[in-house]
Chains A and B, each alone.
Chain A
Amino acid sequence: MKKILFACTSLSLVFLAGCATKPPAPVVESAIVGQAPADPPKNPVMSAEALKADSKSIAVTDIYFKKEGKNLTFIEETRTTTDNSISSVITPKTIEIDADKANASAITGGANSSAFPVKFTNLADPKATSPGAAIPPVPAVNVATPSNSSSSANTQSMKKSGYQSNNEYGELRYLANPIRGLLIKSGYKVVQAKSTPAMPNQGDEYFDIVKRIKAGDFGDADYVLYGVLAEISSTDNVADIPGTKSTSQQVTLEVTVDFNIVDTKTTQIIASFVASGEGKDVQIDGRDTGHKPSTAKLMKLASLDLAEDVRKNLADQNFITNNPGSAGQVRNLKRRLDDDASTLKVYK
């Protein structure tokens, strides 16, 4: 009986030992359907220094703008022909006006044509000014024959009027710095980009970012973020404050900028958005006291607000996260930088 008990115990022990050394059943990895598994962070514990060392550079340029203007030009030529010679006196007169006003004037038969009753022609257009053109210059001929002279003289006066387009291209240098700061905080290295001076007779090729990328204007950047000023406007309004005897004067400066992010390798537009910024100065009873708002302060506020809107748009399109400095942001940024090996340059 003892032997049987001993044998049973031994068998049980052997069986238990066998179970203990048995390798665990292989675990089938769960397949993720319809969702790309996120890469685990390669360096989960990442200091700001490490992030800085890994991050790519971002070059930030200033915001491009194009200012359209039209010069109204009046040319009065007085040509005097005598027997022996022809003398000519040309008196040009140029008035610079806003393009909008010019477009609304008689050039297009616009609603404000009464303000600009002259039918203007484009003096730069050879067809418009050539002989026999649809809108010829208006000649006024005065023939004067001095009675007390034996020689005859003809005085011919010609008047031309028209417009010349005047486009100004350039970069606004003070709006981009808060965006640079935002990108620095997000972990990118920001490099000052080369400025782009406008050439004489510059055209819209000034905004041709692909041409500039190919010309090497952005160095080895993988992305170019550039912005073109769409509109800048200021308003000065006064409103009553309900429940009080006071009024509030609100002077607002608003800028709207079109942004694009272009992959420099493929020239593909990666992201595109419109951002706007507003600087506001509110003064209670300001109109009564003759308050003059500070333009510098308004510009600063507008640029900060613009940067905030840029941040939101960049976050929406996964270039930065909504919470700079968070663990998620660090991980996303690290992954993006590792996967895309990207350098983002911001050109505006």
Chain B
Amino acid sequence: MVETRKIICTSCPMGCELTVTFDEEKVIEVKGNACPLGTDYAKQEIFDPKRMVASTVRVRNGYHPLVPVYTEKPVPKPIIMDVLAEIRKVEVEAPVSINDVIVENVLDTGINIIASRNLPKA
């Protein structure tokens, strides 16, 4: 069955409104994109939407009580809340360095959760 859906491309801040025509297997047509990124975005968004996820984890003896973390790569949209639950279980000891792996291979996605800043000891 051929379907048409309107989605907004989030590849860049322009936010093109795409009109995507697709069936069960493939995207047939993408309209409204200002650049080729829109076509790739549409394919991904229709069949396997993914998002970057950012949150914080608790830190013992740190300059701040939290260190910000994020997924190295976008994770499948349906498991975002599960990824957050995994992040919430973690507590780390200061110091933390930027890009330190905080959770390895979260939920077997092959994606690491990494720190987005240096956090020295208190």
Real binding pair = no
Residues of B whose CB lies within 8 Å of any CB of A are none
